[in-house]
Chains A and B, each alone.
Chain A
Amino acid sequence: MGPGALAHVLRQLPRPTNSQLLVGIDTADDAGVYQLDATTALVQTVDFFTPIVDDPYLFGQIAAANSLSDVYAMGGKPLTAMNIVAFPICSMDAEVLLAILQGGQSKVTEAGAVIVGGHTIEDAEPKYGLSVTGVVHPEKIWTNAGAEPGDKLILTKALGTGVLATAARAGMFPEGVAAAEESMVALNKTAAEIAGRFTVHACTDVTGFGLLGHLSEMAVASGVRMEIDSQKLPLLPEALEAATMGLIPAGAYANRDYLTAVTIRPGVATSLGDLCFDPQTSGGLIICLPEIETGPALEALKAAGVSSSVVIGSVVAKGGGEIYVY
Chain B
Amino acid sequence: MSIEVDARGLACPQPVIATKKALDELPDGVITTIVDNTIAKENVLKFAVANNCGASVEEKNGQYYIKITKSAASNGSAERSETAPAGQAVYLITKNTLGHGNEELGGVLMKSFLHTLLEIKPLPRALLFINSGVYLTTDNSPVLDHLKSLAGQGVQILSCGTCLDYFSLKNHLAVGEITNMYTILAELNGAATAITL
* Interface, chain A (partner B; CB < 8 A): 166-167, 169-171, 231-235, 237-238, 240-241, 243-250, 253, 269-271
Tell me if B46 and A233 are in contact (CB < 8 A).
Answer: no
- Specify the chain B residue showing the minimal Cβ separation from A229: B171
Task: Check if A170 sits within 8 Å of B161, measured CB to CB.
Answer: no
Q: What is the number of residues of chain B that contact chain A, defined by CB distance less than 8 Å?
A: 26
State A237–B172 Cα separation when bound (angstroms): 14
With contact pairs A169-B13, A240-B161 given, residues A246 and B46 touching in the complex (Cβ less than 8 Å)? yes
Complex contact B46–A248 (CB within 8 A): yes
Which B residue's beta carbon lies closest to that of A240? Answer: B178
Kindly supply a per-residue 1/0 record for chain B positions 164-181, scoring 1 wherever the CB is within 8 Å of any chain A CB and 0 otherwise. Answer: 010000111110011010
Taking a contact as CB atoms under 8 Å apart, the answer to whether A241 and B171 are in contact is no
Contact A250 B177 (CB under 8 A): no
15 more CB-based (< 8 A) A-B contacts, given A233-B171, A234-B171, A250-B12: A166-B13, A171-B17, A231-B139, A235-B170, A241-B178, A244-B178, A245-B50, A246-B46, A246-B50, A248-B43, A248-B46, A249-B12, A250-B11, A253-B38, A270-B46
Cβ–Cβ contact A246 & B171, under 8 A: no
Taking the nearest CB of chain B, how far is it from the CB of A110, in angstroms?
29
B44 contacts the other chain (Cβ, under 8 Å)?
yes
CB distance from B173 to the nearest CB of A (A): 8
Which B residues fall within an 8 A CB radius of A?
11-13, 16-17, 20, 38-39, 42-47, 50, 139, 161, 165, 170-174, 177-178, 180
The residues of A that contact B170 with a CB separation of less than 8 Å are 235, 240
A299 to B165, CA, bound (A): 22
A245 touches B17 (CB 8 A): no
Q: CA of A57 to CA of B180 in the docked complex: distance in angstroms?
A: 32
Closest B residue to A253 using CB positions: B39
Q: How far is the CA of A246 from the CA of B20 in the complex (A)?
A: 11
B39→A250 contact, CB < 8 A:
yes
Whole-angstrom distance between the Cβ of A59 and the nearest chain B Cβ: 19
Interface centre among B20, B161, B171 (most CB of A within 10 A): B171
> Most chain-A CB neighbours within 10 Å: which of B12, B45, B170?
B12
Whether the Cβ atoms of A245 and B171 lie closer than 8 Å is no
With A167-B13, A231-B171 as known contacts, state yes or no: A246 contacts B44, CB within 8 Å. yes
**Distance, CA A232 to CA B171, complexed state (A):** 6
- Pairs A–B under 8 Å by Cβ, sample size 28: A166-B12, A166-B13, A167-B13, A169-B13, A170-B13, A233-B171, A240-B170, A240-B178, A243-B46, A244-B46, A244-B50, A245-B16, A245-B47, A246-B16, A246-B44, A246-B45, A246-B46, A246-B47, A247-B12, A247-B16, A247-B43, A248-B39, A248-B42, A248-B46, A250-B11, A253-B38, A253-B42, A269-B173
Looking at the assembled complex, report how far the CB atom of A170 sits from the nearest CB atom of chain B, in whole angstroms: 4
Query: Which residues of the partner chain B approach A253 to less than 8 Å between Cβ atoms?
Result: 38-39, 42
Output the least CB separation between A154 and chain B (Å).
15
> In the complex, A231→B161 CA distance in Å?
15
Contact yes or no, B38 A170, CB < 8 A: no
Contacts of B173 in A (CB 8 A): 231, 269
Is B46 in contact with A238, judged by CB distance below 8 angstroms?
no
Interfacial chain B residues near A169, Cβ < 8 Å:
13
Inter-subunit contact A247/B178 (CB<8 Å): no
Whose C-beta in chain A lies nearest to the C-beta of B165? A237
State the Cβ distance, A274 to closest chain B Cβ, in Å. Answer: 8
Instruction: Give Cα A269 to B16, complex, Å.
Output: 20
Which A residue sits closest to B44, measured CB to CB? Answer: A246
**B139 & A241 in contact (Cβ 8 Å cutoff):** no
In the complex, which residues of chain B have a beta carbon less than 8 angstroms from the beta carbon of A247? 12-13, 16, 43
- Enumerate chain A residues within 8 angstroms of B47, measured Cβ to Cβ: 245-246
Docked-complex contact A241 and B38, CB < 8 angstroms:
no
- Determine how close the nearest CB of chain B comes to the CB of A258; give it in whole angstroms: 14
Contacts of B45 in A (CB 8 A): 246
Report B23 CB to chain A, min CB distance, Å: 11
Contact B171 A244 (CB under 8 A): no
Residues of B within 8 Å of A238, CB to CB, are 161
* Complex CA distance for A121 and B11, rounded to whole angstroms: 26
Question: Which residues on the B side are within 8 Å of A233 (C-beta)?
Answer: 171
Taking CB atoms, residues of chain A closer than 8 Å to B174 are 231
Q: What is the minimal beta-carbon distance from A254 to any residue of chain B, in angstroms?
A: 9
Within the assembled complex, what's the spacing in Å between the Cα atoms of A253 and B42?
A: 9
Sorted nearest first, the 5 A-B pairs with minimum C-beta distance are: A246-B46, A246-B43, A246-B47, A170-B13, A244-B50
